[in-house]
Structure 1
Amino acid sequence: MDNPWRQRWQEGRIGFHLSDTHPALVQYWPTLNVTPGAKVLVPLCGKSLDMRWLADEGHPVLGIELAPEAIEQFLAQRDAGVSRYNQAGFSVTRQGSVELWCGDFFHLHIKQAAEVGAFYDRASLIALPPATRERYAFHLAQLVPPGARGLLVGLTHDESNAGPPYSVPNSEIERLFVPNFRVELVENRGADERGRSESVWALERRGPHI
């Protein structure tokens, strides 16, 4: 995993963090028809409040995060009990139905993701430089079972290769995910005051004969 992401957390440069649930999650997650109670994989989860929303909707959450600072800040958001243990090279914390694994997403093995039935990517793909994004898309495909559905939020901006968050055009998202997923662009959101535009995608993991 690349160091700029960890550096952002250590320096407190986390302008990508939202202080509320992402509106695209609230709007489009119900349209995916994810199996009730399915565990949701959230790669590079940060301290996203989206995980609280998913948990409140009845989904156990498996968040993977490289920066321990992000995990501790997430846990501090709520006065609730925390259990801690180590597994497969990850430091694991659990608070309610949210389980956070501190470590490299690319070291997560399919056995550790055996119960995952859905996924959510708001700031994962866009946190990775171009050379790593293809590896990410392939690894995600290996971790989720055929039929698993998920939501992905992309981002484009005019800051060349500056990031994270990086600008990832829609054409690249299609190229990365179409080999293993059914991919549907459900919304191109308007640019904000910084000229950054989000895209929202519904994905479904293809099976061997799909």
Structure 2
Amino acid sequence: MESYSDTFGKDDSADAKLQESRVVTEEEWLQKWETNNIGFHNEQGHPLLKKYMDIFLDGRSGLKIFFPLCGKTIEMKWLADMGHQVVGVEISESALKDFFTEQKLTFSEEAIPGIPGKLLKSTTGNISLYCCSIFDFTSTITGKFDAIWDRGSLVAVNPCDRERYSQLILSLMNSRCHCLLATCLYDPSKHKGPPFYVPDSEVKHLFGKSAEQWF
């Protein structure tokens, strides 16, 4: 688990309470994509994944890797090109279509059995992106994962939904799952989020002993 700071940071769970009533709706996130207000998107790929790629993969091949709230992150293409199976979840259909267009990948669309939304799948078969609410997604849809890259999901989830989110993530981890998490440390009295302030102490509270699998 590694945190990075935009301004000023300290690991103090009391500070996180300053944002606990803040709620961002799905409509607001969709509006960000529609207006291209996506400063959270990194066109060069996240440096944290580059730094810890070897530890994240741990010499394993053919992994099934989960990207929660994936947007159009280019790291999905990196890992697919390495021979891994990539699965992402994102509420914005335009973000997912932008990913395939920008990465020059053809894809098909199909319904997701049992939940509202659709599956956008590369014709190569190794990238499956689910356009649906993260909280409608379950392990019955895809099974469990060998690795999870949370590059901006936990810090985007509303504080009131973090317990539900952590339970979902725990349910998607297999026994050897490696998880890489990027969080933000800053003065939450000066920024209302998102991204939200999530100190290490809260990560440990949310994920319990499984936090040892996060780095």
* SS in structure 2 of the partner of residue 123 of structure 1: coil
* SS in structure 2 of the partner of residue 146 of structure 1: strand
The residue that corresponds to 1:6 in the other structure is 30
The residue that corresponds to 1:81 in the other structure is 106
Shift of 1:148: 1.1
Unpaired runs of at least 5, structure 1: 184-200, 203-210
Counterpart CA distance in 1 for 2:107 and 2:144 is 21
Q: Partner letter of residue 156 of structure 1?
A: L
1:67 matched to 2:92? The reply is: yes
The residue that corresponds to 2:64 in the other structure is 39
**How many percent of aligned residue pairs carry the same amino acid?**
32
More strand by share: 1
Q: Partner letter of residue 55 of structure 2?
A: T
1:121 matched to 2:145? The reply is: no
The residue that corresponds to 1:193 in the other structure is none
Counterpart CA distance in 2 for 1:166 and 1:91 is 28
* SS in structure 1 of the partner of residue 62 of structure 2: coil
The residue that corresponds to 2:120 in the other structure is 93
C-alpha spacing 1:181/1:159, structure 2 compared with 1 (3 Å) = closer
* SS in structure 2 of the partner of residue 28 of structure 1: helix
Counterpart CA distance in 2 for 1:159 and 1:181 is 23
* SS in structure 2 of the partner of residue 182 of structure 1: helix
RMSD, aligned CA: 1.9
Shift of 1:115: 5.2
- 1:129-168 pair list within 5 angstroms: 129-160=158-189, 162-168=192-198
Shift of 1:159: 4.4
Provide, for residues 63-85 of structure 1, a one-character-per-residue CA deviation record: whole Å limited to 9, x for no partner: 00011121111111022321111
Higher relative contact order (Cα pairs below 8 Å, separated by 6+ residues): 2
Counterpart CA distance in 1 for 2:176 and 2:110 is 31
* SS in structure 2 of the partner of residue 180 of structure 1: helix
The residue that corresponds to 1:24 in the other structure is 48
Moved more, 44-53 or 109-118: 109-118
Counterpart CA distance in 1 for 2:182 and 2:165 is 15
* SS in structure 1 of the partner of residue 212 of structure 2: strand
* SS in structure 2 of the partner of residue 94 of structure 1: strand
The residue that corresponds to 2:19 in the other structure is none
Q: Partner letter of residue 30 of structure 2?
A: R
The residue that corresponds to 1:174 in the other structure is 204
More helix by share: 2
Shift of 1:29: 2.3
* SS in structure 2 of the partner of residue 168 of structure 1: coil
Unpaired runs of at least 5, structure 2: 1-23
TM-score calculated relative to the size of structure 2: 0.79
TM-score calculated relative to the size of structure 1: 0.80
Shift of 1:157: 2.3
